[in-house]
Amino acid sequence: MSREILAPPLQRLDNNRCYRINLIHEDFGNQLAAMQRQRQPESKKSENTYTEQDLYNEDDDDEQEEGADFILEELPNSYYKLTLHVAQSFYGGLIGFKGTTKRRIESETQTDIYVPRSRDGGGGQKKAEDVSIKGKTRSSVMAARRKINLLLVSLRKRMRPTHFTCVALNYGEVKEKYSDFKAQILALNLPGIDENLFQADECIHLTLCVCVLLDEAERAKAVEVLQSCKAFLADLHTPFQVQVRGLEIMNDDPSAVRVLYACIEAPELQKFANSAMQPFLRSGLGVDDHERDAVKLHMTVMNNRYRKQIDDKAAGAFDAREILKRFGDYDFGKVECSEVHLCALHSSEKGAFYKVTGSLKF
């Protein structure tokens, strides 16, 4: 019978307390950690610390492939050091109240984490530093990185999106018919309906994914992710044929609507959109509160938020019953799509589309 069962290693604490150290089956990757504990001097064993078991260290090699967002190096003193970029806006969340979050991650993974001080705005001459993680083992450093990434994903979800990937529809037949649609509705003089509710003619589009990009490095990474989506076009017919027809609302009450949108028929674009959403989510830059498997393709026509931005005292919704009754099957026409843009939200100026950060052309 195994000696670990007949005479298990013990950990002695103060007040005459003595605990048996349970060895975890090697399938869970913790056997080495158990052997290291046995070899530790008694003074080290008595420390009241806890190292969280990392059940995912078999994924570490996959994370070292080309395009990884970190640098891992082995130092001369047999320590490992990992550096990764973290936007300055996340420093406070990573450190936590009086450093509690940072200390918790360090304690759970037995690592030391360095978070740069926030830059004081001294002319932007000093190069931004990266967050670094130092530990005795590669697995502990990678475990700390995963915890930091999960924390950043959680923090990012609480922020307002800054960018979005989209297909512009502000040209050709769709733009012409959209202008006619808006003119016909305004000519009816319906109660509570005014021009401020409508999307600008130059800005009509369909959104594929929204992102939170907080600095230049994150914007550059998002453009790289967008370019990588070119691989999804191999088995699709391009340019995409996009049919815009019919109206729907985002809620269930047509008498109190916040968003009225036009429906999109584009099977090939739908396949691309579903695939292209995943790299942005995996990168941590994209956000999806609904955790959908498929992108809902639509072209926003009227949004009460547009009116509230101009007049914060405006009503919180509008009555769309007459619009749906008269224009529910309105045909906005067809266009061909040959590029996808990464744009900054709320960046449109009068007579112009949103500011484009990067594009994927095909």
The answer as to whether 115 is a domain residue is: yes
* Same domain, residue pair 289 and 255: yes
CATH for 276? 3.90.1140.10
At 19, the pLDDT band (50, 70, 90 cuts) reads low
> Are residues 114 and 130 in contact, defined by beta-carbon separation less than 8 angstroms?
no
The answer as to whether 116 is a domain residue is: yes
* Same domain, residue pair 198 and 341: yes
Q: Give the contacts of 158 (CB within 8 A, at least 6 positions apart).
A: none
pLDDT of residue 117: 84
* Same domain, residue pair 147 and 177: no
The single-letter code of the amino acid at 273 is: A
Q: Name the least confident of 27-31, 88-92, 235-239, 246-250.
A: 27-31
* Same domain, residue pair 34 and 61: no
The answer as to whether 51 is a domain residue is: no
Average pLDDT (233-238) is 94
Give Cα 120 distance to the centre of its chain.
27
Average pLDDT (133-161) is 95
The dihedral through the CA atoms of 152, 62, 29, 114 has a sign that is negative
Print the domain residue range for 20. Answer: 3-45
Give me the number of domains the chain comprises: 3
* Same domain, residue pair 211 and 337: yes
* Same domain, residue pair 104 and 191: no
Q: Which two tokens stand for residue 84?
A: 């990764």
Q: Give the contacts of 164 (CB within 8 A, at least 6 positions apart).
A: 207, 208, 209, 210, 211, 342, 343, 345
* Same domain, residue pair 263 and 305: yes
The answer as to whether 232 is a domain residue is: yes
* pTM of this structure: 0.78
pLDDT in tens, 193-235: 999 999 999 999 999 999 999 999 999 999 999 999 999 999 9
pLDDT of residue 40: 52
How far apart CA 186 and CA 23 sit, in angstroms, is 74
* Same domain, residue pair 272 and 145: no
Largest CA distance in the chain: 90
Please give the DSSP secondary-structure letter assigned to residue 289: T
Of the residues 157, 173, 190, the one at which a domain ends = 157
Q: Name the least confident of 43-52, 214-223, 280-289.
A: 43-52
Q: Give the contacts of 27 (CB within 8 A, at least 6 positions apart).
A: none
The single-letter code of the amino acid at 318 is: F
The answer as to whether 94 is a domain residue is: yes
Cβ atoms within 10 Å, residue 35: 11
The answer as to whether 52 is a domain residue is: no
Please state, rounded to an integer, the average pLDDT across all residues of the chain.
85
* Same domain, residue pair 290 and 346: yes
Please give the DSSP secondary-structure letter assigned to residue 115: -
Q: Give the chain's length.
A: 362
pLDDT in tens, 83-139: 999 999 999 999 999 999 999 999 999 999 999 987 644 444 445 679 999 999 999
Of the residues 140, 157, 174, the one at which a domain ends = 157
The answer as to whether 83 is a domain residue is: yes
Residues pairing with 132 in the sheet: 83, 114
Residues pairing with 166 in the sheet: 207, 341
* Same domain, residue pair 71 and 177: no
Backbone angles phi, psi at 10, to 5 degrees: -115, 155
Which regions of the chain does DSSP assign to beta strands (E)?
A: 10-13, 17-20, 70-74, 80-84, 111-114, 131-135, 163-168, 205-211, 240-249, 259-265, 286-287, 298-303, 331-337, 339-344, 356-361
Pick the closest to residue 145 from 36, 226, 31, 64 (CA basis): 64
The answer as to whether 312 is a domain residue is: yes
Of the residues 133, 157, 181, the one at which a domain ends = 157
* Same domain, residue pair 112 and 170: no
CATH for 114? 3.30.310.210
* Same domain, residue pair 73 and 200: no
